[in-house]
Amino acid sequence: MQLKALMNQQKVMHLLPARWVLALTFVAIVAIGCGGTGEQGSSGGAATAHATDHEVAPGELDDYYGFFSGGHSGEVRVIGIPSMRVLKRIAVWNIDSGSGWGITNESRALLNDKSVGDTHHVHGSYVDGTYDGKWMFVNDKANNRLARIRVDIMEVDAVVNVPHAQGAHGVFPQRAPTTEWVILNSEFRTPLRNDGRGDMLDASTYGGVHTIIDAAEMEIVAQVTTPVNLDLAATDYQGKYSFATSYNTEGGATISEMLANDRDFLVVFNWERIKAALADGSYKIVDDIKMLDGSAGTGLTAYIPIPKNPHGVNISPDGNYAVACGKVSPTVSVIDLRKLDDVFAGNIEPRDAVVAEPEVGLGPLHTTFDGRGNAYTSLFIDSQTVKWNIDKAVELYENPVEGETAVVDRLDIHYQAGHIMASMAETKEADGKYLISLNKISKDRFLNVGPLKPENDQLVDISGDEMVLLKDEPSYIEPHDCIIVRRDIIEPHVVDRVDMEEHPDFVTESFVERDGNKVTAHITASAPVYGLQEVVVNQGDEVTFIVTNTDEIPDLAHGFAISNYNVSFVVGPFQTKSVTITADKPGMYWIYCTNFCHALHLEMRMRFVVNPRST
């Protein structure tokens, strides 16, 4: 069945004609700084009365760990919830002189000398539909990579570079039975062989890829090609399907070309059939990657027509429904996942899997859940969070009743909400306690700090019938998304010190090796001394410093900075890190500890002597 035929199937309720898009754009501009309005709205005025119930006193611990993508900063932020205290900033795609990420040899090898990144989505690994506390995965939309973070040390341990993709955006791990695969969507359609051959301006030759990555090996299993772009991602709770929204079924290269169709797609990928195709060799090899054809009619995919320019897709905690947001339609589409087997068997049309399309407001982007049958959708244009009941929406789609709505409550937020996430909502254990609205504009909510204003992450209590705004928290430059994980899942995995033998070059004694013009200094750090007091080399030598922190105190880190050599990094307890430099500046340079570790911390230093070349 061809895409054009699919797009012309039965009518979609509450569609916005393409000509309305310019009007909506105007509304969005006007709406900045003005909360949306609507019946059944809750003002959030009760927040002051309830906020003290959610305060975390000094010395107390938060109930949840929040893992936030850092946006353009390239990092992942670990934030306690409900306190909203920033606990750690995990460097991923950025250079961080605090930890030394992007400076040490280990981190530079993973980054492949790229120092720019754009993190959008961070998701945890699963076992049987809930988080297992083992890994976090985060994308780089700018340089098309996926990183894996070890939760036990909260540092990146693996990176995979994804070919044939640009705008590597939606990422989601397999939820059941365990996370064996992670999928990554390419939002931008590009030429498959993007090497300059052919007409690079002919957009009809472009396509998207749904990349499947082995979570343990961090290697690409295969890529499924599609004629459409692939935006946000999700996986089901059975390990059978993955999903991608597609908002440019026109195949346009300009914004006007991307808005012609009144409906686009939720693309469903059938894992059983993908595995069978890989097993029987039904693929071609392109740049050493197994490529499968995911066009309509190949049997690997289903293209479900939904209202135009969809963005987010999220799966309800009971595993029954996918909810896709229309972005420039005032509706969300509810897809019954129990009907997908019949779709792939050809017993029903793809559009028949849509069982509800409630009208929720202007600019729906993302949806989250409370585990009690309610969904919460962010409205970018209306600047609201809207709460609606899934069962009611399905009932009214089948039997409309004039004047009835699935909407339960509305909360004005400040302003222009993007992602939205409730506690444990991406698992089967959604508990409906807290919700975070990640807002793009914070107009007049904080002190003025210049042209680049902070954004606003708002904490909302969703434990009752009405949503209650608890806190505004400024955030830095596009932290797109987050997940909220119970403390008992994460805390048992986090270690106080690294296993020293993990690093092949750890040392318990200090010494220097020389091989021609290559010098390796193995150095221990134990407060308040380094294991060596000086390292002497010749100008032009390649010098590698391998530093091991041998202090056993759980929070006693040591720094290693070389004056005038652009080197600074931190080594945690029993951790080993290295850096390689060229000794190109003759003279004596102090190496010193950057982390206050002892009463004699200032005295913890050593000399690096570079003898000048003999003339």
Residues 467 and 606 in one domain: no
Taking alpha carbons only, the member of 132, 338, 314, 111 closest to residue 231 is 314
- Tens digit of each residue's pLDDT (9 = 90 or more) over 468-505: 999 999 999 888 899 999 999 999 999 999 999 999 99
Assign 3-class secondary structure to 470-482. Answer: EEEEEECCCCCCE
What is the sign of the dihedral through the CA atoms of 498, 504, 509 and 510?
Answer: negative
Residues 462 and 563 in one domain: no
Domain of residue 544, CATH code: 2.60.40.420
Angle CA 16–416–169, to nearest 5: 80
- Please report the pLDDT score of residue 615 as a whole number: 62
- Please report the pLDDT score of residue 12 as a whole number: 36
Single pTM value for the model: 0.91
In this predicted structure, the answer to whether residue 412 has a pLDDT above a threshold of 60 is: yes
In this predicted structure, the answer to whether residue 5 has a pLDDT above a threshold of 70 is: no
Residues 383 and 417 in one domain: yes
Residues 435 and 510 in one domain: no
**Residue that finishes a domain, picked among 463, 493, 523:** 493
Q: How confident is the model at residue 26 (pLDDT cuts 50, 70, 90)?
A: very low
- Please report the pLDDT score of residue 288 as a whole number: 94
Q: How confident is the model at residue 614 (pLDDT cuts 50, 70, 90)?
A: confident
In this predicted structure, the answer to whether residue 155 has a pLDDT above a threshold of 60 is: yes
Hey, is 391 helix, strand or coil? helix
Residues 569 and 436 in one domain: no
Total count of domains within the chain: 2
Residues 536 and 394 in one domain: no
- Please report the pLDDT score of residue 204 as a whole number: 81
Residues 489 and 603 in one domain: no
User: Measured between alpha carbons, how far is 28 from 234 in angstroms, rounded to an integer?
Assistant: 27
**Residue that finishes a domain, picked among 438, 466, 493:** 493
User: Measured between alpha carbons, how far is 313 from 286 in angstroms, rounded to an integer?
Assistant: 29
- Tens digit of each residue's pLDDT (9 = 90 or more) over 555-597: 999 999 999 999 999 999 999 999 999 999 999 999 999 999 9
User: Measured between alpha carbons, how far is 598 from 518 in angstroms, rounded to an integer?
Assistant: 33
Q: How confident is the model at residue 306 (pLDDT cuts 50, 70, 90)?
A: very high
| Cβ burial 443-458 (10 Å sphere, 16+ → b, else e) | eebeeeeeeebbbbbb
Residues 182 and 327 in one domain: yes
Residues 486 and 368 in one domain: yes
In contact, 442 and 474? CB cutoff 8 Å: yes
User: Measured between alpha carbons, how far is 371 from 423 in angstroms, rounded to an integer?
Assistant: 10
- Please report the pLDDT score of residue 179 as a whole number: 98
Range of the domain at 549: 500-611
In this predicted structure, the answer to whether residue 134 has a pLDDT above a threshold of 70 is: yes
Lowest mean pLDDT, pick from 23-37, 177-191, 524-538: 23-37
In this predicted structure, the answer to whether residue 73 has a pLDDT above a threshold of 50 is: yes
Domain of residue 37, CATH code: 2.130.10.10
Give how far the C-alpha of residue 498 lies from the chain's centroid of Cα atoms, to the nearest Å. Answer: 25
- Please report the pLDDT score of residue 39 as a whole number: 41
- Please report the pLDDT score of residue 509 as a whole number: 94
| Cβ burial 293-319 (10 Å sphere, 16+ → b, else e) | bbbbeebbbbbbbbbbbbbbbbbbbeb
Q: What are the φ/ψ torsions at residue 573 (nearest 5 degrees)? A: -55, 125
**Residue that finishes a domain, picked among 493, 515, 534:** 493
Residues 440 and 506 in one domain: no
Q: How many alpha carbons lie under 13 Å from residue 334 in its C-beta half-sphere? A: 28
User: Measured between alpha carbons, how far is 67 from 147 in angstroms, rounded to an integer?
Assistant: 14
Q: How confident is the model at residue 385 (pLDDT cuts 50, 70, 90)?
A: very high
- Please report the pLDDT score of residue 173 as a whole number: 98
Counting beta carbons within 10 angstroms of the beta carbon of residue 405, is it exposed (0 to 12), middle (13 to 18) or buried (19 or more)?
middle
Residues 378 and 341 in one domain: yes
DSSP for 447-515?
---SSS--EEEEEEE-SSSS-EEEEEEEE-S----EEEEEHHHHGGG--SS--GGGSTT--SS-EEEEE
- Please report the pLDDT score of residue 54 as a whole number: 86
Residues 475 and 509 in one domain: no
- Please report the pLDDT score of residue 27 as a whole number: 38
- Please report the pLDDT score of residue 52 as a whole number: 52
